[in-house]
Structure 1
């Protein structure tokens, strides 16, 4: 009997923390027209002429700081654990493959494995809780570009987003409990940033995005596919699950690149504001990531931690990501087959 194929796709990671491998990764990542959505010539000059030559050596040092001698990249390590655990939970009727949108294992190699196994269907799960053209949309496009060249293909379906998945929300809340949340002065929900122009492009009504200061705070029919609105909704659900009052948490966005306006407020500015208000201890969630990575392990814990202390704060505590939590694996099972879950 033919198996059902599942393809998990995360963003990507260099093959090693060497400057050469980081450069290769950044080139593939930043040359994606969905990531830097400007003309090809301008993007090539910007990425290959300015960003990558200067950023690769610096990023390589950051990757070296989080690279485990045995398991390598934390993002790839936890993604592999998720793939193995999901396949085990689903049972023999399913074949689960893992891919990275950029670098290895590639989407093409994973799809070829599923094709060679003669699976009857392929369900693609981009491992991004909130939908964005630069992440989930890019995975859609890459998968269809590859499969569209096959003479025949099985039935293919996609998970659009899972920003409100109850088991995912519970996992983040469970992970935070060990840190005694009540002992912190303020809670941050720090999501990966996006240029504002990409939010505006995603507004199919052409009359909602960034038209008011609170347009993202409530999920509606008009903004249901908006990355920022989905991020706000995720944060709200986690806060409600934990009983965190609205005045005690802030939703913000990190990892800004370039000078164009990105989704605001910026995490670094919020950290400075809280320090100036006399806050000493911050608890930080990063619910845009299902596996710990450079943006969580280093950017939040080290960079923002150091910034906060330099401004008079005492401690920034990262709530670890979903990683290989059994409850998150149950969430993935639920997406694939609710009957099994």
Structure 2
């Protein structure tokens, strides 16, 4: 019997330092997030970051926390429930980090008689710290606890025409009544070394301004290329002016080169160039979360206006948008009927 496992990032149980600390510990101790040897990672995470970060992060979570709970979890649950209504297969929701574990979600499917699972990492792009770690974790859990279950993984959908269409239409709706000077596509940042580590050729990804536009098998696992490709496809779909669109990368750790340009630097630069009305899109996420609701919608707006900006909007993620739900349901139905996965 077939079933579907949707997996998103996860969340602490509450916006308190007490609950944020174990969540951050699990997240940052993932070798695909901070990819140094375990001894050094332990020193960095438990000896340095976790001494101060939980309190600061808890304050940020408190700003965006909903009455029902974590926005990311609540939105993911709403999306899952809607997908269930559009398919005939059991659909479970798990999180890579936190108490809503992948193991519990697979057990839920197994209890319903499922032995053939479509794994759906809810990330449009491939990155070792997002898509890859979900797949690796799911396979580890399967091998240890559910050896009789077969898992097929939905590939990254950053350029899938149906996804580009629903995302573009959602963006268009958000821009409808906003007279923008500029549109910024802000993607989550990753260390530059992650790009090189994910390059199967071990030579193509030079991050030199040309490699992302030069065809290569490396693009299948190149987060940077996929961000640029998605941006170009949305620009083309919406016929956005070339000179009014750019992309950047948000969220980074210090003392390490991450993908550039940095979003916070762009917020300071735009007003100086006369770009006083800014719309920001966060297409690395399918669900609004701390990085979109607090970092971009709140802190980003403050930083932009402090630098001289005037009007600012953050366009929400797709969340539980009905058209996005239908796209996911169609992918599931195609897989159920013929094992076909979206391109």
- Measure how far apart 1:118 and its partner are: 1.8
Match of 1:136 among 131, 140, 149: 131
- Measure how far apart 1:151 and its partner are: 6.5
Q: Provide the secondary structure at the position in 2 that maps to 1:194.
A: coil
Q: Provide the secondary structure at the position in 1 that maps to 2:246.
A: strand
Does residue 1:7 correspond to 2:5, yes or no?
yes
1:84 equivalent in structure 2? 81
- Measure how far apart 1:182 and its partner are: 6.6
- Give distance in 1, aligned partners of 2:146 and 2:52: 43
Q: Provide the secondary structure at the position in 1 that maps to 2:221.
A: coil
Q: Write the deviation string for residues 289-321 of structure 1: whole angstroms up to 9, x where unpaired.
A: 000011111111111111111111012211100
Does residue 1:333 correspond to 2:333, yes or no?
no
Larger proportion of helix: 2
1:196 equivalent in structure 2? 192
Q: Provide the secondary structure at the position in 1 that maps to 2:252.
A: coil
Aligned pairs, number: 336
After superposition, the Cα gap between the structure-2 partners of 1:318 and 1:217, relative to the gap in structure 1 and judged at 3 Å, is farther
- Give distance in 1, aligned partners of 2:238 and 2:19: 41
1:97-112 aligned at under 5 Å gives the runs 97-112=92-107
Q: Write the deviation string for residues 137-158 of structure 1: whole angstroms up to 9, x where unpaired.
A: 1111111111112364122100
Q: Is the 8 A contact 1:167 1:327 kept in 2?
A: no
- Give distance in 2, aligned partners of 1:144 and 1:321: 28
1:146 equivalent in structure 2? 141
1:51-130 aligned at under 5 Å gives the runs 51-69=49-67, 71-91=68-88, 94-130=89-125
- Measure how far apart 1:166 and its partner are: 2.3
Moved more, 126-135 or 222-231: 222-231
Structure 2 stretches lacking a partner, 5+ long:
none
After superposition, the Cα gap between the structure-2 partners of 1:217 and 1:256, relative to the gap in structure 1 and judged at 3 Å, is farther
- Give distance in 2, aligned partners of 1:40 and 1:271: 36
Q: Please tell me the root mean square deviation across aligned C-alpha atoms, in Å.
A: 1.7
Q: If the length of structure 1 is used for normalisation, what is the TM-score?
A: 0.94
Q: Write the deviation string for residues 212-243 of structure 1: whole angstroms up to 9, x where unpaired.
A: 22322466434232011011111111111111
Q: Provide the secondary structure at the position in 1 that maps to 2:265.
A: helix
Q: Provide the secondary structure at the position in 2 that maps to 1:223.
A: helix
- Measure how far apart 1:190 and its partner are: 0.5
Q: Write the deviation string for residues 156-215 of structure 1: whole angstroms up to 9, x where unpaired.
A: 100121111223222222222333377100011100000000001111112211252232
Q: Is the 8 A contact 1:218 1:233 kept in 2?
A: no
Q: If the length of structure 2 is used for normalisation, what is the TM-score?
A: 0.94
- Measure how far apart 1:248 and its partner are: 1.2
